[in-house]
Structure 1
Amino acid sequence: MPPLRTLLAVPVSLALLWLAPADSQARSAPPTDAVLPLLVSRGAAPAAALLAREETDTRYAQAGPGISRADHFRAGSITKTFVATVVLQLADEHLLSLSDTVEQHLPGLVRGAGNDGRALTLRSLLTHTSGLYDFTRDTGGIVPVAPLQSVRIALTHSPAVRGRFAYSNTNYVLLGLVVEQVTGHSYATEAGRRIIAPLGLTGTSFPGSRTSLPSPHGRAYAADGSDVTELDPRVAGAAGELVTTLADLDRFYAALLGGELLPSHRLREMLDTRAAHGSYGMGLFPVKLPCGITVWGHNGRISGSYVRTAATVDGRRVLTFRVNTTAIADPDLEPALLAAEFCPRTP
């Protein structure tokens, strides 16, 4: 990603801010606060921010101008964790089964170019093992399309080998359609009543076709530095529509992994990566850090925003960080930030 020189005029050292809980102000700044500004200086982000949560304590840090703790931002594929949670809740209510075929719920929709919904299960959609082509490879993630249109785009391409992990946004667009078919309501409505309202996620919404962000919010920039704050969320739909805040994402993943949203057997299914050969569960994926600790979560990339949430498997410790551009130029910075947060510190 080319450097955004005009956006980096404020020295990182002056922009770094760290706020500790009241009972721990004497503690030295954690390692994440040293890594965060590198997202700006080496990662070519205009600004970055993080919010870490452990039990009832939170810690906020930011680097660069024009970003704040309370900002609303686009969360991209983190939407998938919300959709997967709704589907697993519906499975637990026996309104669907993960072994159901796509054809059972969306008859005749997935046909063509070697694609066949009769051979695809909902489990294969959740785990990205369906082989369906990712429609955003054709749209670039910048062209708004209706759900059925995005599926039709995917079906002009031959599928990959079924049973192998191949990340595809088409899978979760289809799951959004399944949720609507089963419940009679949109995935956004179901996520609102099942997740957003019960957890009090007041900064989280599914904007539909609304191009503006709720206040407060900063600006969002594409890789070339152009302002893309105004964006039609239909570029991603059920695969990446979500708008949220740092605090809401920490709360959501803590609640999910802590067992507040799913019974234990369904949560175990969500964390089971065997279908995707260790790469992905259902709306969550694991990362094993150099210290041996495995964290769970998801990332989200959409034009003008990159977000990453990771948590311990019990949800007691959560980190969300974001940058206000589409991607981080240095891919080594994300694992470094996660290791700095979750790996034990040496004296």
Structure 2
Amino acid sequence: MPTPRTLLALPVSLAFLCLSTAASQAGPAPDTNALVRLLVTQGRAPAAALLAHASTGVGTAPTGTDHPRAGTDDTRAGSDYALGTTEYTQAGTGIGRADHFRAGSITKTFIATVILQLAAEHRLSLSDTVEQHLPGLVHGAGNDGRALTLRSLLTHTSGLYDFTAVTGGTVPVTPTQAVRIAVTHPPAGRGRFSYSNTNYVLLGLVIRQVTGDSYATEAERRIIAPLRLTGTSFPGSRTTLPSPHGRAYAADGSDVTDLDPRVAGAAGELVTTLADLDRFYSALLGGELLPPRWLREMLNTRTAHGSYGMGLFPVRLPCGTTVWGHNGRISGSYVRTAATVDGRHVLTFRVNTGEIADPGLEPALLAAEFCPRTS
């Protein structure tokens, strides 16, 4: 749930250069398999796993409709997704390919997708103010819902204080309690990118106000069921993970597998699997969930000055390729998904702890997966 690593070109290049320079003294630059092992040995995670898919299909990706098209079978299918190559690798013990795990802030991509679908259906506008949908909720300490738009929530430019800075992401709260914590603090500069989990808690409340159903129900109906993401769920207050699952560990080694998801709510509640995340981001970027206009809106980073779109952020790799995705961090779990802009090449990796000790490993993994190799 904390601020995503918005890995722009310079830090990515420097981090990868450091690893490549060290590797050049001992042999070729590490590939993804070697880097997954390094997440355990050098990143000090108990275990790590990675699942990547590269589509080689020649069919035409869907252009997007208001009602998403489901896959054609139950093995992560889609018009092109079922064609291509899939790579899985893991390191350490106690982690498996089919495991369910907590995805933290990757939840935000699901919430943003639902909001943009509602905009495509003309049930709300991104220029609507927070006050229009949630009257009287955002006020105090200089906060004013009349001055904040839904766009500012989606792009983290509202300036609203992050409630998890108080709760540490470990105290279960209701959405209203989360917002009340936030509005006791003065806002940051409005219009500047400032990542805040409060933004997406509010968007979850907007979904309920507009549809009459919870964000979980709407995400299930609009995304999870049509794409047959059978390992993905919004657990609400359920503290246990579905089977199969491994264990999750805090930085001090304590077992934190059982967790009340209300510590995060719409900002980070999701439980999912590696295969489901690959399928979701491939479908989203491939045009299966949003009409073209609204997918372009999602990828537009102008409002956040290049740092963030809407529930997605870009990373430009040293080879010039830009990948889109999100990361997720919650107690006992760190997850990262990235994909090419057409969704045809996607990677998800995870570790079963909340931190990676060596921050250079993540950009190196992305570069190793998405940049063509030279001999």
Give the aligned residue type for 1:167.
Y
How does 1:112-131 map onto structure 2 within 5 Å?
112-131=140-159
Is 2:108 the counterpart of 1:80?
yes
Give the aligned residue type for 2:52.
A
Separation in 2, partners of 1:285, 1:327 = 20
Where does structure 1 lack aligned partners over 5 or more consecutive residues?
Answer: 1-29
SS at match of 1:198: coil
Separation in 2, partners of 1:118, 1:334 = 39
Separation in 1, partners of 2:293, 2:360 = 35
Q: Which residue of structure 1 lines up, in the alignment, with residue 42 of structure 2?
A: 42
Q: Which residue of structure 2 lines up, in the alignment, with residue 26 of structure 1?
A: none
The Cα shift of 1:191 comes to 0.2
SS at match of 1:123: helix
The Cα shift of 1:222 comes to 0.5
The Cα shift of 1:89 comes to 0.1
Where does structure 2 lack aligned partners over 5 or more consecutive residues?
Answer: 1-29, 56-82
The Cα shift of 1:117 comes to 0.1
Match of 1:147 among 153, 175, 185: 175
SS at match of 1:36: helix
Is 2:185 the counterpart of 1:157?
yes
- What do the CA deviations read for 1:200-242 (whole angstroms, capped 9, x no partner)? 0000000000000000000000011100000000000000000
How does 1:221-260 map onto structure 2 within 5 Å?
221-260=249-288
SS at match of 2:353: coil
Separation in 2, partners of 1:61, 1:194 = 31
Q: Which residue of structure 1 lines up, in the alignment, with residue 230 of structure 2?
A: 202
Separation in 1, partners of 2:336, 2:169 = 18
Separation in 1, partners of 2:250, 2:327 = 17
Q: Which residue of structure 1 lines up, in the alignment, with residue 303 of structure 2?
A: 275
Separation in 1, partners of 2:213, 2:358 = 41
Separation in 2, partners of 1:214, 1:288 = 35
Q: Which residue of structure 2 lines up, in the alignment, with residue 53 of structure 1?
A: 53
Match of 2:348 among 313, 316, 320: 320
Match of 1:110 among 138, 151, 159: 138
Q: Which residue of structure 1 lines up, in the alignment, with residue 126 of structure 2?
A: 98
SS at match of 2:50: strand
The Cα shift of 1:69 comes to 0.1
- What do the CA deviations read for 1:96-141 (whole angstroms, capped 9, x no partner)? 0000000000000000000000000000000000000000000000
Q: Which residue of structure 2 lines up, in the alignment, with residue 69 of structure 1?
A: 97
Q: Which residue of structure 1 lines up, in the alignment, with residue 317 of structure 2?
A: 289
Give the aligned residue type for 2:300.
D
Separation in 2, partners of 1:206, 1:266 = 24
SS at match of 1:71: coil
Separation in 2, partners of 1:144, 1:48 = 27
- What do the CA deviations read for 1:70-107 (whole angstroms, capped 9, x no partner)? 00000000000000000000000000000000000000
Q: Which residue of structure 2 lines up, in the alignment, with residue 89 of structure 1?
A: 117
The Cα shift of 1:58 comes to 1.1
SS at match of 2:90: strand
Q: Which residue of structure 2 lines up, in the alignment, with residue 33 of structure 1?
A: 33
The Cα shift of 1:34 comes to 1.2
Q: Which residue of structure 1 lines up, in the alignment, with residue 292 of structure 2?
A: 264
Separation in 1, partners of 2:343, 2:53 = 9
How does 1:12-31 map onto structure 2 within 5 Å?
31=31
Taking structure 1 as the reference length, the TM-score comes to 0.91
SS at match of 1:171: helix
Q: Which residue of structure 2 lines up, in the alignment, with residue 18 of structure 1?
A: none
Match of 1:186 among 200, 210, 214: 214
Q: Which residue of structure 2 lines up, in the alignment, with residue 138 of structure 1?
A: 166
RMSD, matched Cα? 0.6
Separation in 2, partners of 1:136, 1:43 = 25
SS at match of 2:209: helix
The Cα shift of 1:31 comes to 1.3
Separation in 2, partners of 1:240, 1:327 = 16
SS at match of 2:225: helix
Separation in 2, partners of 1:136, 1:225 = 22
- What do the CA deviations read for 1:128-186 (whole angstroms, capped 9, x no partner)? 00000000000000000000000000011000010000000000000000000000000
Separation in 2, partners of 1:35, 1:113 = 46
- What do the CA deviations read for 1:230-259 (whole angstroms, capped 9, x no partner)? 000000000000000000000000000000
Higher relative contact order (CA 8 A, sep 6+): 2
